[in-house]
Chains A and B, each alone.
Chain A
Amino acid sequence: QVQLQESGPGLLKPSQTLSLTCTVSGGSISSGSFYWSWVRQPAGKGLEWIGRIHTSGTLNYNPALKSRLTMSLDTSKNHFSLILTSVTAADTAMYYCTTGMVIDGVASFDPWGQGTLVTVSS
């Protein structure tokens, strides 16, 4: 089965740009029909969907983050990425990458990466 592993900076200052990468093993991000997604979770709180990119490159973003968000696929490195600009303390959270096979145009999330903690603090 596909395995996912997030990587990122850990600590950022307010107004900086967050860049995260999700490396995929056990399968190719350019094969089949999959949504590659990001989900975040502030400590002790619930899950928030950030956005997704399809194998074809089609993008869907959460409207609440759309103005600051860019997602992309890198087929040469078999990973996908998230860039979030102008971060604030409200962006402090565990960030998960996840995927799902598209059936009838939709996909649930399975499997997930283990998550990477991002803290925004001055």
Chain B
Amino acid sequence: EIVLTQSPGTLSLSPGERATLSCRASQSVRSTYLAWYQQKPGQAPRLLIYGASNRATGIPDRFGGSGSGTDFTLTISRLEPEDFAVYYCQQYGSSPITFGQGTRLEIK
């Protein structure tokens, strides 16, 4: 099983700032099958990024993903008020599919 470790656990930033979230895998993620999801309170997760760097339909271009192998990053270039939420990474290239424990992005 691939274990995903996200850091930091909580990130405190202000609107307009740049956010950098990390996801590290215990072993190489096959063919960059790494996704990022955003979850707001009381809502289901929403797909942001798939294949490590591809934005899902309707996702603003301030969201960007990068990385390969065991190290991946989600970058939000300029934070909007609606971006403050919990973010999860997921590897879907190997079974069992696994998620990171999440990074909470909060308003400073």
Size of the B side of the interface (Cβ < 8 Å), in residues, is 26
5 shortest interchain CB distances as A-B pairs: A110-B47, A112-B44, A108-B50, A49-B97, A108-B35
Please, how many angstroms separate the alpha-carbon atoms of A48 and B90 in the complex? Answer: 10
1/0 contact string of A51-83 vs chain B (CB within 8 Å):
010000000101110000000000000000000
Measuring CB to CB, which residues of chain B are less than 8 angstroms from any residue of chain A?
1, 31, 33, 35, 37, 43-47, 50-51, 56-57, 88, 90, 92-93, 95-102
| Partner among A52, A64, A107, A109 whose Cβ is within 8 Å of the Cβ of B45 | A109
Please, how many angstroms separate the alpha-carbon atoms of A107 and B50 in the complex? Answer: 9
By the criterion CB–CB under 8 Å, are A112 and B101 in contact? no
By the criterion CB–CB under 8 Å, are B46 and A112 in contact? yes
By the criterion CB–CB under 8 Å, are A46 and B101 in contact? yes
Measuring CB to CB, which residues of chain A are less than 8 angstroms from any residue of chain B?
37, 39, 46-49, 52, 60, 62-64, 96, 98, 100, 104, 106-115
Please, how many angstroms separate the alpha-carbon atoms of A111 and B90 in the complex? Answer: 15
Q: Write out the residue numbers on chain A whose beta carbons fall within 8 Å of the beta carbon of B35.
A: 108-109
By the criterion CB–CB under 8 Å, are B93 and A106 in contact? yes
**16 A–B contact pairs at CB < 8 A?**
A39-B45, A49-B96, A49-B99, A60-B95, A60-B96, A104-B31, A108-B33, A108-B56, A109-B35, A109-B45, A109-B92, A110-B47, A111-B47, A112-B45, A114-B44, A115-B44
Please, how many angstroms separate the alpha-carbon atoms of A110 and B51 in the complex? Answer: 13
Knowing A46-B100, A46-B102, A48-B99, say if A106 contacts B44 (CB, 8 Å). Answer: no
Please, how many angstroms separate the alpha-carbon atoms of A14 and B101 in the complex? Answer: 27
What residue in chain A is nearest B49 (Cβ atoms)? A108
* Shortest Cβ gap from B72 to chain A (Å): 14
Q: Write out the residue numbers on chain B whose beta carbons fall within 8 Å of the beta carbon of A100.
A: 92
By the criterion CB–CB under 8 Å, are A108 and B93 in contact? no
By the criterion CB–CB under 8 Å, are A47 and B96 in contact? no
Please, how many angstroms separate the alpha-carbon atoms of A114 and B39 in the complex? Answer: 12
By the criterion CB–CB under 8 Å, are A47 and B99 in contact? yes
Please, how many angstroms separate the alpha-carbon atoms of A46 and B100 in the complex? Answer: 8
Q: Write out the residue numbers on chain B whose beta carbons fall within 8 Å of the beta carbon of A110.
A: 46-47, 50, 56-57
What residue in chain B is nearest A97 (Cβ atoms)? B44
